Structure 1
Amino acid sequence: MAQRVVVTLSDDIEGGEAAETVAFGLDGKMYEIDLNAANAKKLRKALAPYLAAGRKIPARIGAGADAGADAGPGAGSGAVGGRNRAAAYTHTDLAPDPAAVRAWAQSNKMDVPARGRIPKRVYEAFREAS
């Protein structure tokens, strides 16, 4: 006998049926919320000025479902996937782009490998200079 499983999402704000799961990040933590179309639009509108002024952080390879994969239509909008890439940073800090750190270190005559892991001391110096 065949079975059919139906999953219905409920809007986490108002109840009722949700249209999508929206994933977003704040202070180093990822969140998901199920919203109807109107509430999803309100959330995106409220976040729009911050998204426009912010910098996108690429998702870490292999971050899996925690990065919002398969979270539904539009789930990746404004989401910060994965964890911070630099071990020198705490969960509340966003790791800078390694290419930018490497370029800064080279322009400041710091010893930094052309490939591979950037030493913690280089990230710390970059952070202090910023």
Structure 2
Amino acid sequence: MAKHTQVILIDDLDGSEASQTVTFALDGTTYEIDLSDENAKKLRDALQPFVKCARRADTGQSRRRRSSQRSSTLSREKSAEIRAWAKAHGHRVSDRGRISREILEAYEAAH
């Protein structure tokens, strides 16, 4: 049986039809709000003077992203060691290419 699900966003500010979800943060809390294009522009315009004078914060998310990027550039020797360990412990791993996060996490947990 075919099923068609339609999601209609409602502007959280005025109840009209929304066209986008806007994410913003204040005082360490991240918020999402569904807004029409007009209300999204009003929000961005209102925040612009503050954004213009602000600096970007180094959030935990960006630190995690950088650390995961570092771990993805393993040396050939380390990659070979992880692949050999994975095969010896019954994990399916290719001889080339990227090593999956699950195998990396299992390897790190074992060592």
Q: TM-score, normalised by structure 2?
A: 0.52
Asked whether 1:45 is paired with 2:45, we answer yes
Alignment match, 1:3:
3
Deviation at 1:5, TM superposition (A): 0.9
2:26 equivalent in structure 1: 26
Asked if 1:57 corresponds to 2:65, the answer is no
- Aligned-pair Cα RMSD in Å: 1.3
The superposition leaves residues 5-59 of structure 1 with CA deviations (integer Å, 9 ceiling, x where unpaired) of 1111100111011010000000110111000010000000000011111111245
**Secondary structure of the corresponding residue to residue 32 of structure 1:** strand
Q: Which runs of 5+ in 1 are unaligned?
A: 63-130
Greater percentage in helix: 2
Query: Matched residues, percent identical?
Result: 48
- Secondary structure at 2:40 match in 1: helix
Distance 1:57 1:37 in 2: 27
Task: With the length of structure 1 as denominator, give the TM-score of the two structures.
Answer: 0.45
1:1-130 alignment, distance < 5 Å: 1-59=1-59, 60=61, 61=64
Distance (Å, rounded) in 2 between the aligned partners of 1:5 and 1:24: 28
Q: How many residue pairs end up in the alignment?
A: 62
The structure with higher relative contact order (CA 8 Å, sep 6+) is: 1
Letter in 2 for 1:51: V
- Which blocks of at least 5 consecutive residues in structure 2 are unaligned? 66-111
Q: What one-letter code is carried by the residue in structure 1 that aligns with 2:36? A: N
